[in-house]
Structure formats: structure tokens, C-alpha cells
Amino acid sequence: MFQFLDDLGPRARHVAGWVAAAALLAGLQWLGDALVAWLGWPLPGSLLGLLMLLGLLALRGGVPRGLDEVTAPLLRHLMLFLIPSVAAVGLYGHLLWQHAALFALAATLVTAFTLAVTGWTLHRLMRRRQP
């Protein structure tokens, strides 16, 4: 399908991999946003895009090198992406206090679910890796 990449030099193939990976991420986020808007689902489109990315990576059996190279700098600076959330907590702190018990329960359940799914996924991946 992409036979023209064979004619390019190694640096051009490397850059093409970066561009393809960035386009994949942007396309999945756009597709997630479009599906959520079209279906009227009450969840962020970027979350649906991430779930689609997870499905694609699971089908592929790993992370392509280009995608890893594009996402590594983003993950190193992940805290910068959380600044709007932290600002919102400061802005809407009174609502958090008003619903503190529900917020604590939701945060605890989501954290426990995340830990369980992460542990299960790691267990499956490590079992697959052993000879």
C-alpha cells in the first residue's frame, strides 16, 4: 500500500512514520468526537478515540515505533495537559465540597477499577511474553 516509502531514505521514512502516527492520533480523536456528537453519548469524544486506539494496538499486538516516538514526549510532559483540570478544581472548589462524599466515592471506585484493569492487562501481557 505504501510502496513509495521504500524509495525514500531512512530519515524520510522516519519522519513519515512520525507524521502517520500524529495523523492517527488526531484522526482517532476527531472520529471519537464525531461519533459522540452523532450518537449523543454523554462521554468525551477523546475518550472514545483512546478506546479505539487501544483496540487498534491490541489488534496489532504492540505499539509501532513511530507512534512511540510521537507519544513519548507528550507523556513526559503529561502534567502540562492537566493544568486546566487543576484550574477547574480551584474555580469550582465549592461544588466539590458540596458533593465531597460522592466525589470521594467516585474517585475511589475509578481508581480501584483502573488498578484492576491495569493489573489484569499487565498479567496478560507478561504471560504472553513468557516462553
* DSSP-based three-state secondary structure for 111: helix
Q: Are residues 16 and 71 in the same domain?
A: yes
Expressed in percent and rounded to 5, the helix, strand and coil fractions of the chain are: 85, 0, 15
Dihedral over Cα of 38, 42, 48, 50: its sign: positive
Domain membership of residue 115 as a residue range: 82-131
Report the predicted TM-score, pTM, of the whole model to 2 decimal places: 0.57
pLDDT tens-digit profile of 26-67?
A: 999 999 999 999 999 888 888 899 999 999 998 988 888 888
Q: Are residues 39 and 2 in the same domain?
A: yes
Q: Are residues 57 and 102 in the same domain?
A: no
pLDDT tens-digit profile of 65-119?
A: 888 888 888 888 888 888 887 787 788 888 888 998 998 999 899 999 999 999 9
Q: Are residues 68 and 118 in the same domain?
A: no
Q: Are residues 43 and 104 in the same domain?
A: no
* DSSP-based three-state secondary structure for 121: helix
